Chain A
Amino acid sequence: MTLPRRFSFSETAPRISNLGSWARLLRAGALTLAGTLCLAGGPVQADGGIKIGSIFDLTGGLNIYGIQQNNALKLAVDALNAKGGVLGKPIEVVSYDAQSELSKYTQYANTVILRDRVSALFAGLTSSSREAIRPIVRKANIPYFYGSLYEGGACDKQTFVTGPSASQQLSVLIDWAVKKYGKRIYIMAPDYNFGTISAHWVKDYAKKAGAEVVGEDFLALTVTDYAPTIQKIQSVKPDFVVALPVGANQTGFLEQFAAAGLKDKIGVVSTNYGSGNQQVVVSPAAGKGLIADQGYFQVVDGPANTEFVKLWSAKYGSDTPIISEAVDIWNAVHLWAAAVDKAGTVQAAPVIAALESGLSFDAPNGTVTLEPKSHHLRQNIYIVEGDDRHGFKVVETFKDVAPSYENEKCDLKANPTLAQHFAPDGK
């Protein structure tokens, strides 16, 4: 007679060392308590189906992304189940809410693997959440899918990335922007690895395009006053600004930039504007003419996207535009299902081998191909321009952009034990 395993999770001390403030610290404590209570009545074990796990931020500051990622997962599973599931069995989802707290990711990743015994995990938005999960899935050896744009370089046998990496997006964006605006570049980025690594790539691609970075400012996520940055931008007179605002506060930068009357003189391009539907928050006056580039926008053309948007709107309505992270998860679930069908089992080793066989999927954002060596996704990159109705129009489509940095550094076929987070030199 052994105790039910769930009791071993009730002693979860909050890991709060990296949280920003004492108020958050208190909040983390109570949410942990709440999370523990939820766990006691956790998901019911079900027989017969194939179980996959999901951990997304359904509450808290990151739920702008998490809710849509979770919705996309459910939509994909419903679509697959309607066609008979995988291997003739229905797919069942065990879902957890990480509450925008990093410690929850570690906790639930363990729960979902040890207790729920899922065959694949779909989880995470921030790089820190992904890095918290990777060692756990590596040890458990189950395929893990990360669906978000990010700074690039994550490399190990179990991890599959369906969002574009920073170098994948910036390689086409910087070239395009230098031709359109000119050779002087200013970088405004958040002060953590997404920002600093992205800035490195901007410099790299600027050099290749014969342009130069004339200034940069890294900002804490809590900054709400951008006057100092805007003055520095004016004093060095760039042709365009690469703005990588993260979170609601940094969206204010775009508003203040426009109100200072700079938008008509200086271009603004971004790899993440729109990924959290910032174009809905930003006023038409500030949003018109902003340039963004990602693997997906709701406006992209194609029958697969029309079908996807129809399916989505029927279930979730059409009030909020679909974000790229939702499509990243939709693609991840379909690629996983294709791999399972190909392997004929849910066992990790054959599924990973199938995922490494050059799988393609007719996705809402065009045909995507999972790169066998780097576990990253070759996909279209769309450059769009903001209009004055909180929306975008596509200005240019780059077909089949390869994750070239990841392909160059990360060869998991030749080197299956590789477990690294590659970053450009000096970062």
Chain B
Amino acid sequence: MELDYLATVLLSSLSSASILLIATIGLAVVFGLMGVINLAHGEFLMIGAYAALTATQYGIPFVIAIPIAIAVTMTIGAVVEVLIIRRLYGRLFDTMLATWGLSIAFYQLAVLIFGTVTPGIGMPQFNLRIGNYSLAGYPLLMIAVAAVATVFVYVLMTRTVYGMKARAAIQMPEMARAIGIESARVNTLTFAIGCGLAGFAGAVLLPIVPATPSMGFAFVIKAFLTVVVAGPVTLTGSALTAVGLGGGASVTASFLTSVAGDAFFFLITAFLLWLYPLGITAKWRTKM
């Protein structure tokens, strides 16, 4: 095995893992922290992608289109929380049914508004050469993006007043209210942040995965599995799981076949859940 091949495999696997982590991080907040199974997570990702795409079509640079996409998905997320999710806290199956209905509605709305095919924005045409191999540059950039996003959410949830309130409002709503935290409003914001992170993922991944009404689908299954395997320490757990499972699957795909890569992902997930039914971080004593 040549060294340059090995280096490209490692780098690109790390970028695959990062892409998975970017798509998962919003779910880590909504599902991991709030315990809400948001089956419309993939559709929020799709909304983010379309928001960024529409912004670029109006001539706005891609870099500025990303915050626009976040704002749009956060707003929709806040409205969804107030209208639907708020009424269903603690009712797991009702939440699933409601968000799943929402996902169908969002999907069909996207078909009606944008049609079935829309022009993509293409991938920035720069690449990295290692020996005889060259790698597309933009996916590699996702490694840095994933790291920044993870640190951002970690700091937000552990080092800020809002973060403390958010965790208090979900873990002990009565006590939180007793000491003057407006838990309803904090929950709305937390759900909106989760949706905003999904929107961010859709927007930042737009050059890699073109915007289509069904695009959320490709991510949502692996994202959910990642969060479930991660367990109670959601953020650190998700980062670890994404690198392990996503990266491992990519390495397997490089040396064997793409099917073997997928098989690796699902088999290891099943094995880990058998070993740690409550997630790999079940016995940790950290916060996020």
Contacts and interface: CB of A to CB of B under 8 A. Distances in A.
Contacts of A232: 254
Contact of B111 (A30, A63, A230, A260): A63
Nearest to B135: A260
A325 to B, nearest CB: 13
Interface in B45-68: none
A220 B258 contact: yes
Contacts of A282: 120, 122, 210
Contact of B136 (A228, A259, A280, A319): A259
A167 B213 CA distance: 32
Contact of A191 (B104, B127, B259): B259
A283 interface: yes
A27 B122 CA distance: 31
A240 B138 CA distance: 24
Contacts of A219: 258-259
Contacts of A191: 258-259
A222 interface: yes
A249 B257 contact: no
B108 interface: yes
Interface stretch (B7-15, B151-159, B176-184, B273-281): B7-15
Given A231-B9, A276-B117, A283 B104 contact: no
Interface stretch (B79-87, B214-222, B236-244): B214-222
B250 A286 contact: no
Nearest to A255: B123
A418 interface: no
Contacts of A59: 108, 111
B106 interface: no
B12 A252 contact: no
Contact of B12 (A63, A228, A235, A261): A228
Contact of A27 (B13, B104, B119, B213): B104
B47 to A, nearest CB: 16
A261 B137 CA distance: 10
A335 to B, nearest CB: 27
B102 to A, nearest CB: 12
Interface in B100-117: 100-101, 104, 108, 111, 115-117
B5 A235 contact: yes
Contact of B117 (A218, A231, A277): A277
A223 interface: yes
Contacts of B213: 61
A220 B15 CA distance: 19
| Range class of the A interface residue count | 35 or more
Nearest to A21: B221
Interface string A226-269: 01111110110000000000001101100110111110000000
Contact of B125 (A21, A218, A220, A259): A259
A219 B218 CA distance: 13
A24, A256, A285, A286: residue with the most chain B Cβ atoms closer than 10 Å: A256
Contact of B220 (A23, A231, A258): A23
Interface string A52-76: 0000000111011001000000000
A23 B13 CA distance: 27
Contact of A223 (B115, B120, B208, B262): B262
A227 B259 contact: no
Contacts of B123: 255-256, 258-259, 283, 285-286
Given A30-B104, A218-B259, A234 B120 contact: no
Interface in B9-25: 9, 12-13, 15-16, 19
B253 A228 contact: yes
Contacts of B122: 255, 282-286
Contacts of A276: 117
Query: Which applies to chain A's interface (DSSP): helix, strand, loop or mixed?
Result: helix
B262 A220 contact: yes
Nearest to B5: A235
A224 B218 contact: yes
B77 to A, nearest CB: 19
Given A281-B119, A282-B122, A227 B12 contact: yes
Contact of B212 (A248, A260, A283, A284): A248
A297 B116 CA distance: 18
Contacts of B209: 224, 248-249, 252
A231 B111 CA distance: 35
A255 B209 CA distance: 9
B218 A390 contact: no
A59 B213 CA distance: 11
Residue of A59, A225, A248, A320 ringed by the most chain B CB atoms within 10 A: A225
A251 B210 contact: yes
Most buried by B among A217, A227, A320: A227
A20 B273 CA distance: 20
Interface in A329-378: none
B19 A224 contact: yes
B153 to A, nearest CB: 22
Nearest to B15: A227
A258 B139 CA distance: 13
B100 A285 contact: no
A270 B52 CA distance: 30
A225 B250 CA distance: 8
Contacts of B258: 191, 217-220, 223, 228-229
A258 B135 CA distance: 10
Q: Which 10 A-B pairs have the closest CB atoms?
A: A283-B122, A227-B12, A259-B136, A228-B253, A248-B212, A259-B123, A228-B254, A64-B116, A61-B214, A260-B136
Given A259-B124, A280-B117, 17 more contacts: A21-B221, A30-B101, A60-B214, A64-B116, A218-B258, A219-B258, A227-B135, A228-B250, A230-B136, A235-B133, A248-B214, A249-B209, A259-B126, A260-B127, A260-B134, A284-B122, A285-B125
22 contacts: A23-B220, A23-B221, A26-B96, A218-B257, A220-B259, A223-B261, A225-B12, A225-B16, A227-B15, A227-B16, A227-B139, A227-B250, A228-B9, A231-B12, A235-B5, A249-B209, A255-B122, A258-B123, A261-B125, A278-B117, A282-B120, A390-B119
